[in-house]
Amino acid sequence: MEKIRIINLAKRYGQVVAADAVTFSVGDKEFFSLLGPSGCGKSTVLRCVAGLEEPSEGEIYIGETHVNSIADRINVPTEFRPIGMVFQNYAVWPHMTVHDNIAYPLKLKKLPKEVIETKLKDALHTVGLERLADRYPSQLSGGEQQRVALARALIKEPEVLLLDEPLSNLDAKLREQMRFELKDLQRRTGIPILYVTHDQTEALAMSDRLAVMNAGRIVQVGTPADIYTHPADRFVADFIGLMNFVPARILSRNGEKATVEFFGTHRLNVLDHSGLSGECVVAVRPEDISLSPAGPIRCRVEVSSYSGHLIDYKVRANGAVLRVQTPKTAIYKEGAELGLTIERALLFAARESERAVAKDKVHR
Amino acid sequence: MTASSFDRRYLLMAAAGVFVLLIVVYPLWQVLFRSFLDAGVLSLKSYQKVFSYPSYYRALLNSVWISCATAAMCMVLGTLMAFLVVRTDLPGKKTLRTLLVLPYALPSFFAAIAWIQLLGPQGYLARLFLQVFGFATVPWNIYSAGGIVFVLTVHYFILVFITVAGALERMDASLEEAARASGASTYQIMRQITLPLVLPAIMAGGLLAFIGALANFGIPALLGMRARFFVLTTSIYYALAIPDFGLATALSSMLVLVALVSMAFQFGIQKGESRFTVISGKAVHPSELKLRAVRYPLFLLTSFFVIFMSILPILSMVLTAVMRYWGAPITAANLTLQNFNYVLRFEAAQRAVMNSLFLGAVAATVAMFVGTVISYLHVKAKLRGTRVLDFLATIPYAVPHTVIAIAMILAWARPPVSLYGTLWIILVAYLAVYLPFAVRTTNSTLQQVHDSLEEAAKASGARLFPRLRDIILPLARPGMIAGWILVFMPALRELTVSILLYAYHTETIGVVVYNLQDAGYREIAAALASIVMGLLILGNMIIRRLTGGVAGF
């Protein structure tokens, strides 16, 4: 059962297109993220779902309810949508105590006092704020305010929970902790979540599925593993995780097997569905490169940095600088002359500027 | 769904729109329209009249030159004092500053009354002067154009002082330090670096003083009319007494035109000033100029000046209030409390106090309420057309109060809705006068309330009225209270609007003080004025305490 369904959503401000042709759906109990750089339109989409912005085109369903339709002139106001929402700055009302903040949605429903108090107790327990009920927001830390906002969003038992970069104002340690708490909370309550973030680690770690957005459009929808290992295009490849790009040329192709040439004379066989030919770029994850004294492509270690669970290198090969991450089995010193092996690579179309460089290199 | 999908904010907008139309747009339109009307047909006859009778076009010229002279004097005085108080090591600067601002807390016609007491024939200073120098008569006349410019300057120079002092405080000290490092002397730095940098502020302050002087009624009325010296505001008063509505509206339209032109200038300067990146909001403290040998002489001079400008008028008012009669020798035998006794039992004064309290409280409450609605629609809801609403509500800011009073007579003193002679017409005029202040205060208050606080209420399921009641209004409350007092206090002492609109039984405090003074009961006028003065100074202290010194007069 789909809990949120967005069909062909577009939002324009005058000439500026904030979102265009956005289509996706969020399933029951699903944690779904919208990921992209700032200004890509992800918050606009979320705000359309919340009813805080009116779409220029498209349809939105929340559960069974048709909340937006241009054709039927439907735009259900936010206050009538079955949503809970947490804002980037928490938006905890400073003139109300923690108790009153969280109880507010129930008071609006004019529930009996006892019912409100029972539900409130549960909510405070869920987010671990029992002891702070009578405090004012100014007496709370950022993390605690965050929990108040979360409890307030959940208490009216909405069909979906909308989260707009809720962790971006927290410090690194707390962010990490809240990430697990959020995920855990969702498991326990089973509430579908639509989550907006620009932080790819956050999105990969928490989501069941995510949509990567760029310039107002969805570029790819999939599970974190899908998107990491099979980025749909060069933008996604670059945005998610680390990626090395090397200009190359496709020499020959046999179905899905392509042979590319790069760094002058080096050749590599790549599994590729794109059907590209001619100039292209080879994209390689740092962990898909291995270093050994005998590797086929000569390189020199420029920077070697120890980061606990792995070693992070910058190596120079044929004039290009590549990021390489290896397990801690062998540690090479800066300045070491080595060879590298590319174990897995993807092909993407080259950009205009890179074509010139590639040609230049090939002809030299 | 049909009921809930109707956006109630449009209901609110329609209500606010109707309010602004009735209170602001329709009355002001009447002024403009009637100025082109003669016996029911469109004509320029009223304007012809203005330009063919010397007494009328001279009023226009008088207004312009009096305001120019006032502005020039204010710029010199205000800039000088600002330099001394902000940029030198003068002792007791904080106290000086507080005292300098004091006269502005009192209505300008109080200043006129006090300066008549001091400098008029038989005035305290006039008699002192004659005694000391042995002249037969004093070489000045307070009932003259010069007297008007003098009192206007004393009242309005503070506007230049405040803008220039602000600019001097915000100026980056490193600009002067760079000049010093280049070998410039202190005098050269002041002339070549500092003065050019604060010039926009001086100009802006000067224009504020110009607009203030142009719109002022009390001072030229008390000092000029007796000498048959008229400016636009007093001519309009005169034309209404005839009554000649065509003339009054033509003069009003010209007054508004001059005010609008100077305001456009002021707006231009503000825009230009923002290009001066050197005057930033940075909290760098500019260096203080060491006065060395002239420090104490200058301190004495400044103190004398401040006592002369700020303390003397107040003392004079209180002294007159406790004298048997003004002009009597100041001896213990001539002191009395009978004036206060009389005022407290004087029926018109009692009525006036009640009327002013009622008008001030109701005007402040309604203006703040409507102001909050308009600000909410403009700043938060951002509905289409709210910008126009906001603009219309701030129009009266540019309109001299004399003109607003006439507008109310034209709009609301004729059947079918004749409010003339009631408190309601004064109330409506007060609402028009103070609505811009209310909207500006609530605008800045609501701008500080983050949008997401309201959005969170929406997401919690709160409809428009619960949202306003539970979230917006409580968060805006501190600003609304400050704004309420900022409307209530000036309304309490208002003269210009009420003198044109009052009738028997609807006098305000300002009207009673003015009429007592005009009829020659100077001691009783002074007694009532002293009581009001005490209340205003007290109220001003409360506001400054409440707003942390940000607001106040």
CATH of the domain at A115: 3.40.50.300
ipTM of model: 0.84
pLDDT attached to residue B547? 65
User: Any CB–CB contact under 8 A between A78 and chain B?
Assistant: yes
Structure tokens given for B210: 């110009």
Query: A296: alpha, beta or left, given left = phi > 0 and alpha = psi -120 to 50?
Result: alpha
Q: Kindly state the helix (H) or strand (E) to which residue B360 belongs, with its residue range.
A: helix B347-375
Please check the confidence at residue A354 and state whether its pLDDT lies above 80: no
User: Any CB–CB contact under 8 A between A76 and chain B?
Assistant: yes
Which chain A residues are within 8 Å of B9, Cβ to Cβ? none
Which residues in B223-248 are b (16+ Cβ under 10 Å) and which e? bbbeeebbbbbbbbbbbbeeeebbbb
Nearest-by-CA chain B residue for A102:
B460
Contact, A347 vs A272, CB < 8 A?
Answer: yes
Which chain A residues are within 8 Å of B450, Cβ to Cβ? 89, 91
Nearest-by-CA chain B residue for A161:
B459
| Pick from B458, B474, B475: CB nearest A79 | B458
| Domain termination residue (choose one: A237, A267, A298) | A237
pLDDT tens-digit map of A119-161: 999 999 888 888 999 999 999 998 899 999 999 999 989 999 9
Interface test with chain B among A87, A109, A194, A196, by most B beta carbons within 10 Å: A87
pLDDT attached to residue A359? 43
Nearest-by-CA chain A residue for B6:
A77
pLDDT attached to residue B549? 53
Task: Give which of B128, B520, B141, B526 is closest to B329, Cα–Cα.
Answer: B128
**Residue type present at position A354:** E
| Domain termination residue (choose one: A237, A256, A278) | A237
Same domain for A70 and A187, yes or no, is: yes
Average pLDDT along chain B, 553 residues, taken 10 residues at a time: 61 94 94 85 86 88 95 95 87 86 86 93 88 85 94 93 87 76 80 84 91 94 92 93 88 90 80 54 60 85 90 93 85 87 90 94 95 92 88 90 93 84 94 93 89 94 93 90 86 92 93 93 93 85 68 48
Closest Cα in chain B, distance from residue A152 (Å): 8
Question: Hey, are the CB atoms on B7 and A77 less than 8 Å from each other?
Answer: yes
pLDDT attached to residue B287? 67
User: Any CB–CB contact under 8 A between A231 and chain B?
Assistant: no
Please check the confidence at residue A110 and state whether its pLDDT lies above 50: yes
Same domain for A332 and A208, yes or no, is: no
Residues in chain B: 553
Split at pLDDT 50, 70, 90, the class of A57 is very high
Same domain for A175 and A251, yes or no, is: no
**What domains sit in chain B, N to C, each tagged with a CATH number?**
7-31+337-553 (1.10.3720.10), 53-321 (1.10.3720.10)
Same domain for A248 and A225, yes or no, is: no
| Domain termination residue (choose one: A171, A202, A237) | A237
One DSSP character per residue, A45-58 reads HHHHHHTSS--SEE
pLDDT attached to residue B275? 54
Same domain for A203 and A253, yes or no, is: no
pLDDT attached to residue A170? 84
Give the number of beta-carbon pairs within 8 Å between A and B. Answer: 72
Mean pLDDT of chain A: 89
User: Any CB–CB contact under 8 A between A264 and chain B?
Assistant: no
Nearest-by-CA chain B residue for A157:
B460
The greatest distance separating any two alpha carbons of chain B, rounded to the nearest whole angstrom, comes to 90
pLDDT attached to residue A360? 44
What's the average model confidence in pLDDT over A331-343?
A: 89
pLDDT attached to residue A51? 93
Question: At how many degrees (to 10) do helices B401-412 and B423-447 cross?
Answer: 120
Same domain for A151 and A278, yes or no, is: no
| Pick from A79, A89, A91: CB nearest B461 | A79
Structure tokens given for B273: 């000033």
Q: From edge to edge, which strands make up the β-sheet containing A74-75? A: A16-27, A2-13, A57-62, A65-69, A74-75
Question: Hey, are the CB atoms on B459 and A153 less than 8 Å from each other?
Answer: yes
Same domain for A253 and A178, yes or no, is: no
Tokens 């002024």 belong to residue: B31
One DSSP character per residue, A241-276 reads S--EEEEEEEEEEETTEEEEEETTTEEEEEE--S--
pLDDT attached to residue A352? 66
Same domain for A26 and A100, yes or no, is: yes
Which chain B residues are within 8 Å of A80, Cβ to Cβ? 4, 461
Same domain for A39 and A153, yes or no, is: yes
Closest Cα in chain B, distance from residue A139 (Å): 17
Q: Which long-range contacts (CB under 8 A, 24 or more apart) does B188-193 make?
A: B190/B83, B190/B289
Domain containing residue A263: 242-363
Same domain for A225 and A307, yes or no, is: no
Residues in chain A: 364
Number of domains chain A contains? 2
Give the other-Cβ count within 10 Å of B504's Cβ.
8
What is the C-alpha R_g of chain B? 25
Question: Hey, are the CB atoms on A79 and B462 less than 8 Å from each other?
Answer: yes
Same domain for A187 and A250, yes or no, is: no
pLDDT attached to residue B281? 45
Question: Hey, are the CB atoms on B5 and A77 less than 8 Å from each other?
Answer: yes
Please check the confidence at residue A355 and state whether its pLDDT lies above 60: no
Distance CA A261, CA A253 (A): 12
The one-character DSSP state at A223 is -
Structure tokens given for B541: 């202290």
Q: CATH no. for residue A248?
A: 2.40.50.140
Distance CA A285, CA A312 (A): 12
Residue A292 main-chain phi, psi, to 5 deg: -160, 160
For the ranges A33-42, A276-285, A351-360, the maximum mean pLDDT occurs at A33-42
Give the other-Cβ count within 10 Å of A224's Cβ.
19
| Pick from A81, A85, A95: CB nearest B456 | A85
| Pick from A91, A95, A156: CB nearest B456 | A91
| Pick from A94, A95, A108: CB nearest B460 | A108
Same domain for A231 and A89, yes or no, is: yes
